[in-house]
Chains A and B, each alone.
Chain A
Amino acid sequence: MSATGANVAAPRAAAPSAAAPSAAAYFDVDGTLVGTNLLHPLVMYLANQGTPTRSLLSLGRAVLQAPILALAELQDRRRFNELLFAHFRGISEDRVVLLAQEIFEDVVQPRIFPGAPDLVDQCRAAGMRTVLVTGSLDVTVWPLARHLGCDDVIANRLEYAHRKATGKLRQPIVAGPEKAGLIVADARAHGHDLAACHAFSDSYSDVPMLSVVGHPAVIAPDRRLATLAQAYRWPVLDIQRPSREGRRRPEASTP
Chain B
Amino acid sequence: MSDHPCVVTIDHKSRPRVLFHGTRLIEVDLPVGTKVIYPKRPMKGLPDPRAAVRYALSHPLGSDPLFARLRPGMKLTIAVDDLSMPLPQMKGPDVRSMVVDEVLTLLDEYGVDDVEIIIATAFHRPMSESEIRHVVGEKAFRRYWPDRLYNHDAEKPGGLVSLGRTEEGIEVELNRRAAESDLVVYVNLTFVPMNGGHKSMGTGLVGYRTLRGHHTPAAVRSSGSYMEPARSELSRRMDQVGRLIESKVEVFHVETTVNNRMFDKPLDFLAKNEDELSDLEQKAMSVLLRTLDTLPESARQAIFEKVPAPYELIGVQAGACEPVHEAILEKVHQQLAVPVQGQFDVVIYPVPYISPYNVGATLNPLLVSVMVEGYLHNLHRGAPLLKPGGTLIALHPCSDRFDKDQHPAYVEFFHKLLPRTRDAMELHKLYEADYARHPSYIQLYRTGRAYHPAHPFYMWYWGENGRQHRGRVIVVGADNEYVPSILGYETARTMAEALRMVREQTPEPSIACFRICPLLMVDVTPDAAPPALVEEA
Residues of A within 8 A of B (CB): 25, 115, 118-119, 121-123, 125-128, 196, 198, 200, 215, 217, 230, 233, 235-239, 242-253
Contact of A122 among B146, B439, B449 (CB under 8 A): B439
Interface stretch, picked from B103-111, B152-160, B179-187, B459-467, is B152-160
Mark each residue of chain B from 150 to 178: 1 if its CB lies under 8 Å from any CB of chain A, else 0.
11110111000000000000000000000
| Contact of B324 with A by CB under 8 A | no
Q: A236-B404, A249-B146, A253-B147 are in contact. List 7 more A-B contacts (CB 8 A).
A: A119-B443, A122-B442, A125-B157, A126-B439, A233-B411, A247-B446, A253-B145
**Cα distance, A76 to B494, chains bound together (Å):** 56
**Cα distance, A48 to B438, chains bound together (Å):** 43
Contact of A238 among B153, B438, B447 (CB under 8 A): B447
Closest residue of B by beta carbon distance from A242: B447
Q: Is the CB of B447 within 8 A of A239?
A: yes
**Residues of chain B in range 467-500 having any CB-CB distance to chain A below 8 Å:** none
Q: Is the CB of A248 within 8 A of B438?
A: no
Q: How far is the CB of B145 from chain A (nearest CB, A)?
A: 8
**Residues of chain B in range 428-443 having any CB-CB distance to chain A below 8 Å:** 434, 437-443
Closest residue of B by beta carbon distance from A124: B439
**Cα distance, A25 to B310, chains bound together (Å):** 49
Contact of B440 among A235, A246, A247, A250 (CB under 8 A): A235
Q: Pick the 7 closest A-B CB pairs, nearest first.
A: A248-B153, A126-B437, A250-B146, A217-B440, A122-B439, A235-B440, A249-B150
Q: Is the CB of A233 within 8 A of B412?
A: yes
Q: How far is the CB of B323 from chain A (nearest CB, A)?
A: 33
Q: Is the CB of B147 within 8 A of A252?
A: yes
A125/B129 contact (C-beta < 8 A), A244-B146, A249-B151 known = no
| Residue among B146, B153, B439 facing the most chain A CB atoms (10 A cut-off) | B439
**Cα distance, A250 to B153, chains bound together (Å):** 11
Q: Is the CB of A118 within 8 A of B129?
A: no
A237/B440 contact (C-beta < 8 A), A115-B447, A248-B156, A249-B156 known = yes
| Contact of B351 with A by CB under 8 A | no
Contact of A247 among B157, B412, B442, B447 (CB under 8 A): B447
| Contact of B283 with A by CB under 8 A | no
**Residues of chain B in range 394-419 having any CB-CB distance to chain A below 8 Å:** 402, 404, 408, 411-412, 415
**Cα distance, A125 to B404, chains bound together (Å):** 25
Q: Is the CB of A198 within 8 A of B411?
A: no
Q: Is the CB of B439 within 8 A of A25?
A: yes
A249/B415 contact (C-beta < 8 A), A126-B437, A235-B440 known = no
Contact of B443 among A239, A246, A249 (CB under 8 A): A239
**Cα distance, A236 to B447, chains bound together (Å):** 12
A215/B440 contact (C-beta < 8 A), A248-B153, A249-B156 known = yes
14 A-B pairs in the complex with CB atoms less than 8 angstroms apart: A122-B442, A122-B443, A125-B157, A230-B404, A233-B408, A244-B146, A245-B128, A247-B447, A248-B152, A249-B150, A250-B147, A250-B150, A252-B147, A253-B146
Q: How far is the CB of A202 from chain B (nearest CB, A)?
A: 14
Q: How far is the CB of B16 from chain A (nearest CB, A)?
A: 39
| Contact of B120 with A by CB under 8 A | no
Q: Is the CB of A237 within 8 A of B444?
A: yes
**Cα distance, A242 to B404, chains bound together (Å):** 20
Q: How far is the CB of B340 from chain A (nearest CB, A)?
A: 42
A248/B440 contact (C-beta < 8 A), A233-B411, A253-B146 known = no
- Chain A residues contacting B402 (CB-CB under 8 Å) are 233
| Residue among B156, B404, B441, B446 facing the most chain A CB atoms (10 A cut-off) | B446
| Contact of B126 with A by CB under 8 A | yes
Residues of B within 8 A of A (CB): 125-126, 128-129, 145-147, 150-153, 155-157, 402, 404, 408, 411-412, 415, 434, 437-444, 446-449
Contact of A248 among B151, B411, B434 (CB under 8 A): B151
- Chain B residues contacting A118 (CB-CB under 8 Å) are 443, 446-447
- Chain A residues contacting B157 (CB-CB under 8 Å) are 121, 125
A196/B434 contact (C-beta < 8 A), A121-B157, A215-B440, A233-B412 known = yes
**Cα distance, A224 to B234, chains bound together (Å):** 46
- Chain B residues contacting A127 (CB-CB under 8 Å) are 437
Q: How far is the CB of A196 from chain B (nearest CB, A)?
A: 7
- Chain A residues contacting B151 (CB-CB under 8 Å) are 247-249
Q: Is the CB of B126 within 8 A of A246?
A: yes
Q: Is the CB of B443 within 8 A of A115?
A: yes
| Residue among A198, A235, A243 facing the most chain B CB atoms (10 A cut-off) | A235
**Cα distance, A249 to B159, chains bound together (Å):** 11
Q: How far is the CB of A49 from chain B (nearest CB, A)?
A: 41
Q: How far is the CB of A151 from chain B (nearest CB, A)?
A: 15
- Chain B residues contacting A233 (CB-CB under 8 Å) are 402, 404, 408, 411-412, 415
| Residue among A244, A245, A252 facing the most chain B CB atoms (10 A cut-off) | A245
Q: How far is the CB of A214 from chain B (nearest CB, A)?
A: 9
Closest residue of A by beta carbon distance from B411: A233
Q: How far is the CB of A253 from chain B (nearest CB, A)?
A: 5
- Chain B residues contacting A123 (CB-CB under 8 Å) are 439
A235/B126 contact (C-beta < 8 A), A115-B447, A121-B157 known = no
Q: How far is the CB of B355 from chain A (nearest CB, A)?
A: 20
**Cα distance, A215 to B443, chains bound together (Å):** 14
**Cα distance, A52 to B113, chains bound together (Å):** 61
**Cα distance, A237 to B450, chains bound together (Å):** 11
Q: Is the CB of B156 within 8 A of A126?
A: no
- Chain A residues contacting B415 (CB-CB under 8 Å) are 233
Closest residue of A by beta carbon distance from B150: A249
**Cα distance, A230 to B446, chains bound together (Å):** 21
- Chain A residues contacting B153 (CB-CB under 8 Å) are 248-249
- Chain A residues contacting B437 (CB-CB under 8 Å) are 122, 125-127
Contact of A246 among B128, B147, B408 (CB under 8 A): B128
- Chain A residues contacting B446 (CB-CB under 8 Å) are 118, 247-248
**Cα distance, A193 to B216, chains bound together (Å):** 27
Contact of B150 among A115, A121, A237, A248 (CB under 8 A): A248
- Chain A residues contacting B155 (CB-CB under 8 Å) are 122
Q: How far is the CB of B413 from chain A (nearest CB, A)?
A: 11
Q: How far is the CB of B395 from chain A (nearest CB, A)?
A: 27
**Cα distance, A251 to B434, chains bound together (Å):** 29
Q: Is the CB of A245 within 8 A of B443?
A: no
| Residue among A198, A250, A253 facing the most chain B CB atoms (10 A cut-off) | A250
Q: Is the CB of A246 within 8 A of B448?
A: yes
**Cα distance, A238 to B443, chains bound together (Å):** 9
